[in-house]
């Protein structure tokens, strides 16, 4: 895969410099106890630093590691040192590999690779790692809509129904959007632990082209994470009502401009005629005096 660096709703400033980042993206599933390796590389010779971040459902990005160019080894944050390992791919000095050993349910998260070039921070698309639990709970996630095609500016409302077993801990439902170049975590909703079925909705008042993508309803319950089938949302363009409003507004504006222009033309024309009329009367009076004065000598 080859993507341009993009920001991913981090609470930090990012600057786009056109650097190309190649990172595993989309979704990866694994079982508890498995090992997974995530790959990231950057083809910019000015690369100064590699970083990896973990973002759990409903959480904020947390730094896993950083590796400065030329440093003999990476710096791994204390919480991740036991099972997270960072290495450089043999023969590829600008390729970074993140390996997670002995996967646990809490490792289910989105993993972003970040690079620093000229002081700017840029990120790959991110990949969501789903760790399948071995629990025998009967749970399900059913999304109501398989697809939705909307015009720009129209409202979007998605819903899903989850069925979860009664167990210790909270039941939360989240919305993940996987677009062309990023994975965004939408705020989750808590379901009452005493309620087996729970229906949650996601609403966007006015969609924009950036809202296009596949939306997944995700249930986190009983130490397990379940995904719905996904709803593909396509944004085709402005809707009819917005086009009508735009057309009426444009027409009204043109009418006002034309009316003002016509009033100016009429005013200038009237002023010109008035000025010309006064000039003609003055010349006629002068001519009349010239004719009348000589006639007085005839008497």
Averages of pLDDT over runs of 10 residues in the chain (299 residues) are 32 44 85 94 82 89 90 93 89 82 92 85 87 73 88 91 76 80 67 74 89 88 84 78 56 72 74 64 45 43
pLDDT for the residue numbered 254: 74
Class in CATH terms, 3-132: mainly beta
pLDDT digit string (tens) for 141-174? 899 888 889 999 999 999 898 887 777 667 788 8
Q: What number of helices (H) and strands (E) belong to the chain?
A: 1, 21
Superfamily classification of domain 140-240:
Immunoglobulins (2.60.40.10)
Task: Provide the residue ranges of all domains of the chain, joining segments of one domain with +.
Answer: 3-132, 140-240
Q: Could you give the CA distance from residue 77 to residue 88 in angstroms, rounded to a whole number?
A: 17
pTM: 0.67
pLDDT digit string (tens) for 223-235? 788 888 899 999 9
pLDDT for the residue numbered 295: 46
High-pLDDT (> 70) share of the chain, %: 71
Q: Do residues 5 and 122 make contact, with C-beta atoms less than 8 angstroms apart?
A: yes
Locate tokens 């970083």: which residue?
51
What is the token pair recorded at 135? 């629990």
Residue 12's nearest CA partner among 70, 39, 42, 51 is 51
pLDDT for the residue numbered 112: 92
Residue 176's nearest CA partner among 257, 109, 241, 264 is 109
pLDDT for the residue numbered 75: 94
pLDDT for the residue numbered 5: 33
Q: Could you give the CA distance from residue 158 to residue 213 in angstroms, rounded to a whole number?
A: 13
Residue 80's nearest CA partner among 59, 60, 101 is 101
């Amino acid at each position: 895969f080859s993507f341009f660096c993009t920001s991913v709703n981090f609470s930090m400033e990012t600057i786009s410099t056109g650097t190309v980042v190649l990172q595993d993206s989309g979704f990866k599933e694994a079982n508890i106890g498995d090992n997974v390796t995530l790959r990231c590389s950057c083809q910019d010779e000015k690369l100064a630093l590699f970083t990896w971040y973990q973002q759990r459902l409903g959480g904020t990005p947390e730094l896993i590691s950083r590796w400065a160019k030329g440093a003999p080894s990476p710096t791994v944050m204390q919480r991740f040192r036991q099972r997270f390992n960072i290495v450089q791919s043999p023969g590829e000095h600008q390729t970074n590999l993140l390996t997670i050993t002995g996967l646990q349910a809490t490792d289910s998260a989105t993993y972003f690779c970040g690079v620093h070039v000229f002081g700017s921070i840029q990120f790959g698309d991110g990949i969501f790692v789903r760790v399948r639990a071995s629990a025998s709970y009967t749970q399900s996630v059913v999304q109501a809509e398989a697809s939705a095609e909307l015009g720009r500016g129209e409202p979007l409302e998605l819903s899903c129904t989850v069925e979860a077993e009664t167990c210790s801990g909270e039941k939360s439902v989240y919305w993940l959007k996987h677009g062309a170049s990023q994975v965004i975590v939408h705020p989750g909703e808590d379901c009452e632990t005493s309620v087996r079925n729970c229906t949650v909705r996601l609403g966007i008042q006015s969609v924009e082209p950036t809202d296009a993508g596949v939306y997944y309803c995700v249930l986190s319950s009983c130490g397990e994470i379940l995904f719905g089938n996904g709803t593909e949302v396509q944004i085709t363009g402005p809707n009819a009502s917005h086009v009508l409003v735009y057309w009426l507004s444009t027409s009204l504006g043109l009418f006002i401009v034309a009316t003002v222009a016509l009033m100016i033309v009429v005013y200038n024309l009237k002023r010109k005629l008035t000025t010309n009329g006064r000039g003609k009367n003055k010349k006629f009076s002068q001519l009349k005096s010239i004719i009348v004065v000589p006639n007085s000598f005839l008497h």
